Amino acid sequence: MSSGEFWYDSFLSKYKSGISHEFLFYFNVRDLVDNYRYMDRYIYEEFIKKRGFGIVAFYDISRGLTFFDAGMEKEFNIITSNEAANLMNAMPSRLFPHIDKALKNTKMVLFIHHVEKIIPAGDIASMTLEERISLVWICEWSVSPKISSVGSCIMLLADNLADVSRELLKSSYRIEPVFVGLPDEAQRKEYIDYLLKDDSVKTEITADEFAKLSSGLSKKSIKDIKLKSEAEDIPISFEFIKEKKHSVLQKEYGDVLEFIYPELDFENIGGMEKAKNYLLKNIVRPIMKGDLRRVPMGILLCGPSGTGKTLLVNALAKASGFNCVKIDMSRILGQYVGESEKNFKKCLLGAQSQHPVIVFVDELDTAFRRGDSGDSGVSRNIFSEFLQFTGNTNNRGKVIFIAATNRPDLIDPALKRAGRFDKKIPILLPDAGERADIFRIMVKKYGFDTDVEDFMPFAEETENYTGAEIETVVRKAYELASEDDIDESILTAEIMSEAIKRCRPSTQQVQFMTMLAIDECDDKDLLPDKYKGLLDNKNLSEDR
């Protein structure tokens, strides 16, 4: 067994300690465990075969009850006095009483696939009678001393834990959840080496690069990439993997997550040098070296609108090569009871599956609040789930939460405490040198022709402009240069100055938001030099 099969280690330790005889495996349960075995076969050969189970049976609502071999089916029929012989495809209410008898009279393993289709999430009051009966049987099996003494074992499998009735996980029952994650980089590399050993496909990248690029994919999806390459006679390349990966992830999580594929890196954004250096030194390099101790649990970018907070996150994703997703609450909130909470769990699980991953939350002050009774506790439930997830130290260096806000004073203090969004970086108005860089970068970004070489005069004319407002000026200059429908419109110094005169700053409450960001900052090294005195004055006033 590969050392990466943590789910199996977790299951085995719980089984051996006698914590439970009923387990709920969830998430990546339909993937290859090693190079050739799926979960049920893997468990059979590594666990069942060595422990003398008399019957191994499989149940799902579409195919009914099946057995590992004919002898086991015969044994089952003997124990149940042939009363279930014609009920193998019956609904659980008719079949489960006979399965109960077998579980209590011989050492049996029962796999129940797609358990979320048998006992779906939702209030018990909204369940059908059939679903309620199934729920009672499955829960009662977990606390049956007879099943425990015989040594039988029940294994429930679900793709998404949030789709399964929450009753299963109540403390009054003894059903142990076991998370089955996606393969890590080492496992993907081992599997890719196995797939490519016959040289049947061409590749433009190394196995190591393939392993890095395939983060967030199952082994089945990796195999699909290989088969598609083989069938179409197309070499496996960065673009080929990216296309397949986007398709898989969009299908799986596109309803609850927004995937970001940035094209600009740090070199393409002006200013923010202190923030860029911090992110490189404390996120990108430590994670690449495997030293996660320097990586903060979460980062809060504070500052006025239009200063480049979102752009900085995109550039970090590009510079690091990490996956990047955005939590959009409009995709999460649903109209039915329990739907929003279920979507949010899926959202977090989808993000976690792609580690190392940057998870971006824009306008954190409005996205997550404790809420009140007016929304039936939905906001409170989601907020609690978010607190728990962002405070989980097991995610350090794997799930990098970065949030942006221009009103940090409105964020719940629980989110800003140490161990969550514990590093606050002010993203403030650019100084003159940074504004000149932004002018240069914007002209280059849009491919505008210009005869201007020194942008400092325009930087001096645009004091208190944000990066977004400078972009507006550059676009206005192009508009003016193109008024006569000349094909080769050139941005001259005169046109740039005229554009500045016609465009006025539109960002509201810039000074107020700037002071909020400075007030929130707890690390002087992250403040632009001209603002350090303000932080010192703040500290002096607090000391008094």
- Tell me the pTM: 0.72
Q: What pLDDT is attached to residue 24?
A: 96
pLDDT higher than 80, residue 337: no
For the segment 98-111, the average pLDDT, to the nearest whole number, is 96
In CATH terms, the fold of domain 432-502 is: Helicase, Ruva Protein; domain 3 (1.10.8)
CATH number belonging to domain 266-426? 3.40.50.300
Instruction: Name the nearest CA neighbour of 243 among 213, 199, 200, 209.
Output: 213
- Highest mean pLDDT among 40-44, 198-202, 284-288 belongs to 40-44
> Do the domains 266-426 and 6-180 match in fold?
yes
What's the length of the chain?
A: 544
Instruction: Name the nearest CA neighbour of 57 among 42, 39, 30, 75.
Output: 75
CATH number belonging to domain 185-253? 1.10.8
Per domain, the residue ranges of the chain are: 6-180, 185-253, 266-426, 432-502
| Rg of the chain in Å (alpha carbons) | 29
Could you report the per-residue pLDDT of 439-468, keeping only the tens digit for each? Answer: 988 888 888 888 888 888 888 888 888 888
Residues 330, 332, 335, 336: what is their CA dihedral angle, to the nearest 10 degrees?
180
Token digits of residue 345: 């769990």
Q: Report the SS3 class of residue 424.
A: strand
Q: Give the helix/strand (H/E) hosting 74.
A: helix 70-79
What confidence category does residue 4 fall into, taking pLDDT thresholds of 50, 70 and 90? very low
Could you report the per-residue pLDDT of 180-227, keeping only the tens digit for each? Answer: 988 888 899 999 999 998 877 888 888 888 888 888 888 999 999 999
Q: What pLDDT is attached to residue 140?
A: 96
Could you report the per-residue pLDDT of 492-540, keeping only the tens digit for each? Answer: 888 888 888 888 777 668 888 888 888 888 777 888 777 766 666 655 3
> Are 271 and 430 spatial neighbours (Cβ–Cβ below 8 Å)?
yes
pLDDT higher than 60, residue 380: yes
Q: Report the SS3 class of residue 60.
A: strand
CATH of 6-180, one of 3.40.50, 1.10.260, 1.10.10, 1.10.599: 3.40.50
Alpha-carbon span 139 to 118, nearest angstrom: 13
What confidence category does residue 48 fall into, taking pLDDT thresholds of 50, 70 and 90? very high
Q: What pLDDT is attached to residue 538?
A: 56
Residue 543 neighbours by CB under 8 Å, 6+ apart: none
